[in-house]
Structure 1
């Protein structure tokens, strides 16, 4: 705790904009943090808090980056709702099972990671994140999503979408709405087919369809995707393997 106190004191005295308290074995958020109103980036990852009281963060309205990885969180703390200037929120490697409605209040968010959680449901309010460029709902163990909410297909600024290691059986044809998408990771799901509409993603550069054992064919339009330079798939499961154009 002495190290934590020293870091907070230094941040306060020098009006620092970044504070890293990751892996400090914190059980509670030090109340002094609420005075660090100059912070724009805070890392609280790899601490095992005994409760989800993040109220000391409510006054840090200037934060644009918040790391809460590997903290055994079972839900997104509602006490961060006041941090509406957040541009990056990392909640990877927790046990969160749903993305609740208040996520829609982070309208400036550009980067959201819920990698390696237990997410089964994502609120339709995610549609309000119209500045979102990076959305990670995947990972090695991934999540438990069976169907992507249609709201995700309307995040037209998305550049990266990772939904690897979930339980998806289909992708909506509305995937074509993500016209800025450059990287789409669908590996390790249960996809039975890929909609022809995916070939309308003319900026797509990387597509990972590997480890989808029930996927047996691909749309012919793949051959016309000129920006696509990396395609990962299991050729052995395909009845119509792609051939070079």
Structure 2
């Protein structure tokens, strides 16, 4: 079983679905690269052992019934990882260990019950914990995230989608956001943001909404 590379159990119709929990033993699949289990009826917590798999590059657990907090293991060493866990019942804060995923490509935790502040490294390039310069897609809408949008978000030079819609973010929109020259989609509505929109934002030629 440890030679499995790819698991795809996407629900194809209304007559077939996968239920139950993801066992902790999934961490023994040492060669697993892709895990697609979206649109099923899986429940319980997401085991931390899943992220012990160093070869893992794509995880989609969207549209299930997962609950509990997001895995917060401190040993994340994955590269080029894409994670989509939207439309579940996950709660608690975003784990600071996200900051160690130096080649993180996609994050979608939208439509959960996530609370707290955005990790301090989102948008920064900290020397000790790596950087997120390859992040292209950051989607955290419809949670309970508080605090302000960090100015250093402009350091994510590859970002083309930023969705922080429907949270409890406050403060002003940082002027540095206008330095995201590859930005195509920006969603910040339904927060508590104040102040004016940076003028330079309108000069981003790729921005459509």
TM over 0.5: yes
1:86-125 correspondence to structure 2 within 5 Å: 86-93=80-87, 94-117=89-112, 118-125=114-121
C-alpha change, 1:199 and 1:25, in structure 2 (3 Å) is same
Higher relative strand content = 2
1:124-143 correspondence to structure 2 within 5 Å: 124-126=120-122, 127=124, 128-138=131-141, 141-143=142-144
Q: How many residues align?
A: 189
Residue in structure 1 matched with residue 173 of structure 2 by the alignment: 171
Residue in structure 2 matched with residue 224 of structure 1 by the alignment: none
1:1-245 correspondence to structure 2 within 5 Å: 15-21=3-9, 24-29=18-23, 31=25, 33-45=26-38, 46-49=41-44, 53-55=47-49, 57-58=51-52, 60-69=53-62, 70-79=64-73, 81-93=75-87, 94-117=89-112, 118-126=114-122, 127=124, 128-138=131-141, 141-169=142-170, 170-192=172-194, 193-204=196-207, 206-207=208-209
Higher relative helix content = 1
Report the more deviating stretch, 152-161 or 22-31: 22-31
**Which structure is higher in RCO with an 8 Å CA cutoff and minimum separation 6?**
2
Q: Runs in 1 of length 4+ with deviation above 4 angstroms?
A: none
Decide which structure has the larger Cα Rg and report it.
1
The alignment's TM-score, normalised by the length of structure 2, stands at 0.75
Q: Unaligned regions of 5+ residues in structure 2, if any? A: 11-16, 125-130
Task: Please state how far the C-alpha of 1:21 moved relative to its aligned partner.
Answer: 4.9
Residue in structure 2 matched with residue 230 of structure 1 by the alignment: none
C-alpha change, 1:185 and 1:53, in structure 2 (3 Å) is closer
Contact 2:46 2:66 survives alignment (8 Å): no
CA RMSD of aligned residues (A): 2.7
Report the more deviating stretch, 175-184 or 74-83: 74-83
The alignment's TM-score, normalised by the length of structure 1, stands at 0.66
